[in-house]
A and B are shown apart, each in its own frame.
Chain A
Amino acid sequence: MSLLELKNVSKIYGELHALDNVNLKVEKGEWVSIMGPSGSGKSTMMNIIGCMDKPTKGEVLLDGVDIAKESKKNLTTIRRDKIGLIFQQFHLVNYLTALENVMLAQYYHSMPDEKEALEALERVGLKDRAKHLPSQLSGGEQQRVCVARALINYPEIVLADEPTGNLDEANEEIVVDLFHKLHDEGTTLIVVTHDPEVAEVAQRMVVLRSGKIAKEKVNDHFTGKIRFE
């Protein structure tokens, strides 16, 4: 059974078909990127997978559970337990330190554990900046805190929405590097982006156009160990 399966999913806003009969399977440990121009339904798809929205029609099976049928409250729980989110605008709580921002995710999930949170920051190379506030961190550093926060509860899927959209090239590199590392460790990654460079390093690339999957391409060169140079 696939970790995530979208079966005939449609999202309709009045006349507009944001998603139109989409079918998609993501296996455990896979790294999938979703590409497409603005208005192609990327965000809608991301929201549905991230349990922040429900489809108008179709089934979304996450770990065998149809999240399209769950209540809002249960969706929050599922999101908390199974999904780690990374945003384009980082979205850190600006009055909490890097460490506390990571611990916030632990707090809502189970128990805050300072040591574990510090280890997570170490993994993204920010151990020495743990006590800094978001305003004292660069964009790349903030995004790495976001990654650490997304990973802290060992989610089934890490869902990144334009993770490099607000970053310069050097930081983009660092973040993509981090994704490689995550993939190597067996994390399931779904990256929504319209940056082909970021999309192409994934194992599999799905291109959306007008709410439909226009193209699916498996990266032949992908070995899993190759770093983005």
Chain B
Amino acid sequence: MSKRKMFFRMIVASLLRRRSRMLVALLSIAIGATILSGLVTIYYDVPRQMGAEFRNYGANMILTAADEAFTQEDAAQGIGRIAKSDLVGYAPYRYENVRVHESPIVVAGTDPEGAKKTSPYWNVDGEWPAASGEVMVGANVAESFRLSVGSTLTVSYTPEGKVQKGEALEDLTADYKITGIVETGGSEEDYIYMSLDDLAALTKEQGTLDVCEVSVSGGADAVKKYVDQINSSVDTVRARVVKRVTASEATVLTKLQALVLLVTVVVLALTMICVATTMTAVVAERRREIGLRKAIGAPDSSIIKEFMGESMMLGLLGGILGSVLGFIFAQEVSTRVFSSSIRFRPLLVPVTILVSIAVTAASSLMPIRSATDVDPALVLKGE
């Protein structure tokens, strides 16, 4: 039998036959590794997950006309520059002045599905308009005209600019069913919302867009990148960053990430010390065995090697266990907090295992070194 084989045979024997003690040590190492891999996973995933939450604030990019006006096709062309995975949603808006009961009011033509995505904070009493002939009105509009969900709204539109000499100024009128009342606390409460197609039908012209709201995931830098891309490649639209949203998101995310990082560091430092104390206790227990090994002729280097081998093996097992548990923990956190699954980071597994081995080895080195100073004669003589 080779020396190496005996070396491993001893380590395995120590781990398996001193099961309860080793389990205790393994447990503390595994906890450390779990915390490391779990928190690091969360640390890396927080911007992505929280970023999704921040989309609640609504659009972080707007498209406006580069010159006079822009069409839906131009907007689509601009949106096309944004990677599908980064695009949360976009909503084109066309504003027209109309009249309700002879009072001037603004109607916004949009894509309700897109608006739902870019303005998730809108509080809609009732339903979003889905079919043609359905509209949603702002809370202020509903209050001033005493409208409620289900009532009918008559909207009249006066074509501008097309009035030729001698031609009668004829109003275009249509009836709509109110499906919802929107409350936002902002100026949106003063508008009427309908689909672009309905607005086109009412005004009898396709019209052009005034603005297109876009919600992009991935933080301020990603938004800035897309804005530059759109501005340099599509010349009909001008993209702008909604600074209020992106700047604030960046601030809060940075703080949050720093918080998780700092917490990770503190927790990790404390668990490392915990592992170290456990390893100290484990080694201290075996002073007599170390004395015996020395008595039968083991050089210090060889004893250090064996005990280090043992603790590195523990570190390896703890690291593997911790990687698995850490991922489970991060997954649990992610589903509970963000109700989405976390991205598995394969690189984190070897890193966790290596760190776990290194920490265990480092924390055992001191007690093992001091244990090899024991005088075998003293240890073996009874006490």
* Chain A residues engaging chain B, CB cutoff 8 angstroms: 43, 47, 50, 52-53, 73, 76-77, 79-81, 85, 87, 89, 91, 93-97, 100, 103-105, 107-109, 111-114, 133, 149
- By a CB distance below 8 angstroms, the chain A residues around B13 are 95-97, 100
Residue in A85, A91, A96, A104 with the greatest tally of chain B CB atoms within 10 Å: A91
Does any Cβ of A come within 8 Å of B113's Cβ?
no
B340 to chain A, nearest CB (A): 47
- By a CB distance below 8 angstroms, the chain B residues around A114 are 1
Residue of A nearest to B16 (CB): A95
Taken together as a complex, chains A and B put the C-alpha atoms of A227 and B292 apart, in Å, by: 31
- By a CB distance below 8 angstroms, the chain B residues around A89 are 380, 382
Given contacts A89-B382, A103-B6, A107-B3, contact A52 B297 (CB under 8 A): no
B344 to chain A, nearest CB (A): 38
- By a CB distance below 8 angstroms, the chain A residues around B298 are 76, 80, 108
| Contact among B2, B293, B376 for A108, CB-based, below 8 A | B293
Cβ contact within 8 Å between B18 and A95? yes
- By a CB distance below 8 angstroms, the chain A residues around B380 are 87, 89, 91
Residue in A77, A96, A107 with the greatest tally of chain B CB atoms within 10 Å: A107
Does any Cβ of A come within 8 Å of B10's Cβ?
yes
Cβ contact within 8 Å between A76 and B3? no
* Chain B residues engaging chain A, CB cutoff 8 angstroms: 1-3, 5-7, 9-10, 13-14, 17-18, 288-289, 292-300, 302, 375-377, 380-382
Cβ contact within 8 Å between A77 and B297? yes
Task: For the complex of A and B, list the 8 residue pairs with the smallest distance between their C-beta atoms, beginning with the closest.
Answer: A80-B297, A95-B17, A52-B377, A112-B6, A108-B298, A47-B377, A91-B292, A112-B1
Taken together as a complex, chains A and B put the C-alpha atoms of A47 and B377 apart, in Å, by: 7
Residue of B nearest to A113 (CB): B1
Residue of A nearest to B302 (CB): A108
Taken together as a complex, chains A and B put the C-alpha atoms of A109 and B298 apart, in Å, by: 8
Given contacts A53-B377, A93-B289, contact A149 B6 (CB under 8 A): no
Cβ contact within 8 Å between B2 and A111? yes
- By a CB distance below 8 angstroms, the chain A residues around B14 are 95
Cβ contact within 8 Å between A73 and B17? no
Q: How many A-B contacts if CB must be within 8 Å?
A: 82
- By a CB distance below 8 angstroms, the chain A residues around B18 are 95
Cβ contact within 8 Å between B295 and A79? yes
Residue in B375, B381, B382 with the greatest tally of chain A CB atoms within 10 Å: B381
Given contacts A91-B380, A96-B13, contact A85 B3 (CB under 8 A): no
Taken together as a complex, chains A and B put the C-alpha atoms of A80 and B294 apart, in Å, by: 9
13 A-B contact pairs sorted by A residue (CB < 8 Å): A50-B295, A50-B377, A53-B377, A76-B297, A85-B295, A93-B289, A94-B289, A95-B13, A103-B6, A105-B296, A109-B297, A111-B2, A112-B3
Residue of A nearest to B5 (CB): A112
A138 to chain B, nearest CB (A): 19
- By a CB distance below 8 angstroms, the chain A residues around B288 are 91
- By a CB distance below 8 angstroms, the chain A residues around B3 are 107, 111-112
- By a CB distance below 8 angstroms, the chain A residues around B382 are 89
Cβ contact within 8 Å between A108 and B381? no
A145 to chain B, nearest CB (A): 12
Cβ contact within 8 Å between A52 and B375? yes
Known: A79-B295, A85-B296, A133-B17. 13 other contacts (CB 8 A): A47-B377, A52-B376, A76-B298, A77-B299, A80-B298, A96-B13, A96-B17, A100-B9, A100-B10, A105-B297, A107-B3, A111-B3, A149-B296
Taken together as a complex, chains A and B put the C-alpha atoms of A158 and B9 apart, in Å, by: 27
- By a CB distance below 8 angstroms, the chain A residues around B295 are 50, 52, 79, 85, 91
Given contacts A53-B377, A111-B3, contact A76 B299 (CB under 8 A): yes
B367 to chain A, nearest CB (A): 18
Taken together as a complex, chains A and B put the C-alpha atoms of A100 and B13 apart, in Å, by: 10
A181 to chain B, nearest CB (A): 22
Cβ contact within 8 Å between B377 and A108? no
A63 to chain B, nearest CB (A): 16
- By a CB distance below 8 angstroms, the chain B residues around A43 are 377, 381
Cβ contact within 8 Å between A104 and B376? no
B238 to chain A, nearest CB (A): 76
Taken together as a complex, chains A and B put the C-alpha atoms of A112 and B13 apart, in Å, by: 16
Cβ contact within 8 Å between B1 and A103? yes
Taken together as a complex, chains A and B put the C-alpha atoms of A93 and B375 apart, in Å, by: 17
Given contacts A52-B375, A52-B376, A112-B6, contact A104 B296 (CB under 8 A): yes
A173 to chain B, nearest CB (A): 25
